[in-house]
A and B are shown apart, each in its own frame.
Chain A
Amino acid sequence: MTDEVTISARNVVKAFGQGNAAVRALDDVSLDIRKGEFFTLLGPSGCGKTTLLRLIAGFEMPTEGTILLDGADITTLPPNRRPVNTVFQSYALFPHLTVAQNVAFGLQMLGRPAPEVKATTERMLALVKLEAMAGRKTSQLSGGQQQRVALARALAPQPKVLLLDEPLSALDLKLRKEMQVELKRLQTETGITFVFVTHDQEEALTMSDRIGVMSHGKLQQVGAPRDIYTRPVNRFVASFIGETNFLSGVTEGAGVRLPVGAVVPVDSPRAGTVTLAVRPEHVRIVAPGEAGAIPATVTGSVYFGTDMNYQLALADGTEIEACVVSGVTGEGALSKGEQVGLRFTPGAVQVLED
């Protein structure tokens, strides 16, 4: 991966409908995707991530803004003239062609000589481990195999960018895990820039070099998975990725004072009312009355095997979730109604913009 930019979206707006009834699927999105990276667009359905992908593919034209590929403006270029290929959510394999013919399609349309088409097709089928299926009709394949054909077909013309539109959503859990590893391997082996769209935060965290979190047609935060998880910029990002406790308080001295009176030692960049975000695994349960600990009551618990999740309530009723590693024999387990103290791991508390 380099810092060289492959795809660049500049102030892209995409509106559907006319006049006042128009819906902005994308609202002033600017984004740089680097060469050779695995970039994920993450967000709930309707957030505009698929629209952005379709704009890059050329299936839609932006209402405003431009899209650059390696510095060249491709905003109005039709899909068949962009060196960009897509793996569709439905796979969209050609039912009248065999597996090998599907993979060869793009190369044939590019007018490559027959020996090259044959060689590349074979190489691609080997890459996705489907050599044995070359002569089969796509309808004779399982979902996972169809997925591989779709991948091989899109990779065969060696595009500059591969777009993947929720390609794993139709697979069962086990197959999905396998394909996640597979996709990552293919991306590393081919060195092609992958732009992956998903609503599954776990998928995004495990596979991506960088993630762009989207909501309501806007890009909320772009960064490495670790940055997104540990330093979410706003409430949406913090709540969409992983579990988070939100606490509102008022900046006071070297911390933020909670309504229950306790002061959380955190470096707040803003005065007045702020929102604190703290992950359940950074909430530590200590003995009640310990100096600086926030008093709380246990209201419930869920056992997850390695972890134990406790639901707690502060004196003013604010709910907090804590995640602790279960003991060997479950010793020290807390029961409902027990009085405890809470501490937050130093440096793990985020002060959010809103």
Chain B
Amino acid sequence: MSPAEEAVRRENIKSAWQLSAPALLVLTVAAVGPLLIVLVYSFLTPGTHGNVEWVFSLEGWRGVLFDHDIFEDKLVLADGNLTIFWRSVKLSFITTVLTFIVGFPTAWFIATRSPASRAGWLFLITIPFWTNLLIRTFAINQIIRNEGVLNTLLLKAGLVSAPLQLTYTDTALLIGMVYVYLPLMVLPLFATIDRFDMRLLEAGYDLYASRWQVLRRVILPIIRPGIVAGSILVFVPCLGAYVTPRILGGGKNMMIGNFIELQFGQGKNWPLGAALSVTLLVIVTIALLVYVKAISGERKNG
């Protein structure tokens, strides 16, 4: 590269930085700032009426995993906290799998329509975004409660003899979360299936692959980027879900999001809430790293 080209290149890089400076500034202040505050708060002492006292303490972090047994004056593992963490990861994982199972055929259907009607179908997918999440979640509750639409239909059709007890169960939570996060799975899947060369299906069949083998050996590996993107978009917000478990889980079946909120509200233990938030962040990061590594490793061997 000649010195002149080098100079031009540097000038380009410089102007690129200048152009993206406002966005970077907003992101830094809005994302890193609060994160730092949360991190600092997690090492402080809880105040009596919420808030914090500026005294260094590891109590918040200890509370993430341990309970203080007041009778024997020793630390025991906080089963309750671990259960909530485990539940959150489990439910988020199941939600991701379910949204894929429902979302893949949906995305395939849309991607194989004529270009004209495709826009219409995609439009329908985005309609739920028009309504507030809170209202949609209450609507789900109306549908699945004992006197709701679903149970009324099931009873009338004679499929069940007594209404299904769905409200405030994990099933209700899953129904709600799959409903809420489904578009986030469908859209990236659609984007990759749309670019999928349908002639490869014929090539697969021609080379003795069954329908199942074509799906497993041709379609899924090729649309993997869409599956990865969709899974991340569903799994991450699921893990931190607050509104859906609050309404459909009835406050009884908590997820991490509700547990954290509890510490900042009734619990009046901000450092514990902050420590839990940071823990959630770490779980998400580890889950993503493991997932991305597994996917790229599989690709290497595939």
Could you list which residues of chain A lie within 8 angstroms of chain B, going by C-beta atoms?
Answer: 57-59, 78-81, 84-86, 88, 90, 92-97, 105-106, 109-110, 153-154, 157
Contacts and interface: CB of A to CB of B under 8 A. Distances in A.
Interface residues of B, number: 20
Contacts, number: 65
Given A92-B197, A109-B213, A79 B302 contact: no
A85 B207 contact: yes
Given A90-B199, A92-B197, A92-B199, A85 B221 contact: no
A79 B200 contact: no
A80 B206 contact: yes
A185 to B, nearest CB: 23
Given A79-B202, A88-B202, A96 B221 contact: yes
Interface string B26-62: 0000000000000000000000000000000000000
A79 B206 contact: yes
Nearest 3 interchain pairs by C-beta:
A106-B207, A92-B203, A109-B208
B206 A57 contact: yes
Given A58-B205, A88-B203, 15 more contacts: A59-B205, A80-B208, A80-B210, A88-B199, A88-B202, A90-B199, A92-B197, A92-B203, A94-B204, A94-B218, A95-B197, A96-B221, A96-B224, A105-B207, A109-B213
Instruction: Pick from B200, B207, B208, B210 the residue with the most CB of A within 10 Å.
Output: B207
A81 B211 CA distance: 12
B302 A92 contact: no
Given A96-B302, A109-B213, A85 B206 contact: yes
Contacts of B209: 80, 105, 109
Contacts of B210: 80, 109
Nearest to B302: A96
A153 B221 contact: no
B109 to A, nearest CB: 21
B222 interface: yes
B248 to A, nearest CB: 39
Nearest to A95: B222
B225 to A, nearest CB: 11
A88 B221 CA distance: 21
A162 to B, nearest CB: 11
Contacts of B197: 90, 92, 95
B203 A94 contact: yes
Nearest to A83: B208
Nearest to A79: B205
Contacts of B205: 58-59, 78-80
A92 B199 CA distance: 6
A34 B299 CA distance: 44
A176 to B, nearest CB: 21
A153 B199 contact: no
Interface string B113-127: 000000000000000
B199 to A, nearest CB: 5
Interface string B142-162: 000000000000000000000
A57 B208 CA distance: 11
A96 B202 contact: no
Contacts of A106: 207-208
Nearest to A81: B208
Contact of B200 (A57, A94, A153, A157): A94
B207 A157 contact: yes
B88 to A, nearest CB: 33
Interface string B191-203: 0000001011011
